[in-house]
Amino acid sequence: MTTERDYDKLLTVALDKAMPYDWSIGLHGSMFFQEIRENQRFVGIRCPQCKKVYVPPRRVCGPCYTEMDELVPLSDTGTLRAFSVVNYPFIDPNTGGQRPVPYTYGYIQMDGADNIFSHIINETDVSKIEVGMRLKAVFKPKEEMQGHITDIIHFDIIS
Amino acid sequence: MAQKVAIVGTGQTDHKSHRPDVTGQEMIREAVDRALEDCGITIRDIDAIVIGNMDHFESINYVDNWSIEGSGGFMKPIMKVTTGGTTGASVAIAAYYHVASGMFDRVLAIGWEKNSESDTTGAIITCSDPIWDRFSYSGAIPSLATEATAYMKQYGATQEDAARVAVRDRNNALNNPHAHLQRPITLEDVMSSPMLAHPIKLLDVCPRTDGACAVVFAADGEAQRLAKQPAWVHATAVRHTYSWFGDSTDYDAGLVSLARASQEAYKKAGISNPAEELDVAELYLPYTYAGIKWIEDLNFCGRGEGAKFVRDGNTNMDGMIPVNPSGGVISTNCIGATALLRVAEASIQVMGKGGKRQLPKVNKALATGFGGCFWSDVMILGAERS
């Protein structure tokens, strides 16, 4: 599609077709979503070398470059380590549509994990959110779960 | 290293939000021509080229091929380097290695970005893991904002503390004819600007700029011939973490990549007290909170002391360690070029070519690059051949 600007003769070319992709979640990631669906519970993985517990579970500990296979059950609660209330419009490259704003993007330290899990917090009033608050995951009904990050709808502030 | 290396010439475009008057290649050529002119050579004298921009931004892959007529790379060895926001510094460091290895004597480093032809936020989001992080992520601003909320909670820093960084940099930009944003601002302007992502307001964060930068690296012997005062490379260091957002930030430890990279660079350059021994720092500070937090990781001051260090004027043009005489990233941000601009501006200060933004005597200068998932590049330049 080529359009002519009314103020001069300079032209712009735009493409309007989406490019679909499929991504493998991997064995450990798939087990994470199975655990969410079956037990509404998070699961992490422990590095045999540095003993860190990672969520989501993945095959290799990056800093140690070591294969991991010890799955660790976690709860569905955690602590807010950092957050931001996103307030500007932008196109979501996954959907091609505008992401609904405002929404709160948070880094959550799940109980029993050493790293941080990123997700959405169900509160956009900054006067009601504080680093250090306790959070609990809210899941979709089991029959609606698809093995996708949106099986966790968001996190609620519980204290 | 096989041979010593210096920067002998720099070139940068006129930076604007939108440059419909030129294609990307033509814009690159503007910077390249100015860099060649700055050291009095032609493209025939260039042995090799390292070029970079942001992946996915202009939807052009193989920019090394695509940009030939802008880079002047026809029938020359060219390498593309793209490492996110650090790209410009990575390009500079790769160009340095090309010469330091002894394989080439004159190498051109190029960084560029035509943000007006890019969906910047959409493109940045594609750096996130598509399964775990992309669903909630919204680009650069909220990852920086989360870092800011953690820092404010930890050390009691305020939005006003951060705003002083924007006031300093934007007012420094008035001395730089190449700066994109050239309007003076006050603390009140920053505080009353629209909230983009708590606690980052419009004037807390960098703009999107169309522009390019080119820097000529030359070998010992050649460097003294091409520049009256070459800017010698005293040290480079790179630290990249990885792309799990939840793993790449340790809020208790600061910006670990910058702390480690700068420690290595200081050691190589024989610097033990950076705030006193460096004469200028061109820092990749994409948002104001970085200006109070990351200077702690650079060891300019202690943990939690960044806000006071800035408030006391230590980073002003007449302070202990002037930061960003150019106006910094908050005034000009052609992303793939942004970190190369830091290197170029640091070398301009060493070469004494800074015009109104020039500091009286610069013996040692620091440039940093930031990007990716809290990644850092560092380069230290000096007037003395070391």
Task: List, for residues B327-345, the tens digit of each pLDDT value.
Answer: 999 999 999 999 999 999 9
Mean pLDDT of the A10-32 span: 81
Q: What was the pLDDT predicted at B372?
A: 81
Distance from CA of B66 to the nearest CA of A (A): 17
Average pLDDT over residues B247-251: 75
ipTM score: 0.88
List the 68-87 stretch of A: residues with Cβ below 8 A of B.
81-87
| pLDDT band, residue A96 (cuts 50/70/90) | confident
Contacting residues of B for A117, CB less than 8 Å apart:
246
Q: Flag if A87 and B196 touch (Cβ within 8 Å).
A: yes
Q: Indicate if the pLDDT at residue A83 is higher than 60.
A: yes
- Could you tell me the pLDDT band of residue A93, with boundaries at 50, 70 and 90? confident
Asked if A87 and B198 come within 8 Å (Cβ–Cβ), the reply is yes
Q: What is the H or E stretch that residue B369 is in?
A: strand B364-371
Pairs of residues, one from chain A and one from chain B, whose beta carbons lie less than 8 Å apart: 115
Is B53:B87 a contact under the CB 8 Å cutoff? yes
Q: Would you say residue A6 has pLDDT above 70?
A: no
* Best residue in A23, A36, A118, A133 for a mutation probing chain B (most B CBs within 10 Å): A118
Contact B197 A87 (CB under 8 A): yes
- The arithmetic mean of pLDDT across residues A87-100, rounded, is 87
- The answer to pTM > 0.90 is yes
Q: Angle of helix B256-269 relative to helix B288-297, nearest 10 degrees?
A: 50
Residue A8 pLDDT > 80, yes or no?
Answer: no
DSSP calls for B88-132:
HHHHHHHHHHHHHTTS-SEEEEEEEEEGGGS-HHHHHHTTS-TTT
pLDDT > 60? residue A4? no
Residue A2 has pLDDT above 60, yes or no: no
How far lies B37's CA from each of A32, B192, B229, B340, in Å?
Answer: 58, 43, 16, 18
Closest among B5, B109, B11 to B382, alpha carbons compared: B5
Count of residues in chain A: 159
Distance CA A75, CA A43 (A): 8
Among the partner residues A92, A93, A131, nearest to B150 by beta-carbon distance = A131
Question: What pLDDT score does A17 carry?
Answer: 65
Q: Is A140 on the interface with B (CB under 8 A)?
A: no
Q: Is the pLDDT of residue A12 over 90?
A: no
Contact A88 B200 (CB under 8 A): no
The position carrying tokens 């500070």 is B285
| Residue-wise pLDDT tens digits, B51-76 | 999 988 998 889 999 999 999 999 99
CA–CA min distance A88, chain B (Å): 6
Q: How far apart are CA B254 and CA A116, in angstroms?
A: 15
Q: Please tell me which of the candidates B131, B132, B150 has its beta carbon nearest to residue A82.
A: B150
Average pLDDT, chain A: 90
**Is A103 in contact with A124 (CB distance < 8 Å)?**
yes
Q: What is the mean pLDDT of residues B196-202?
A: 97
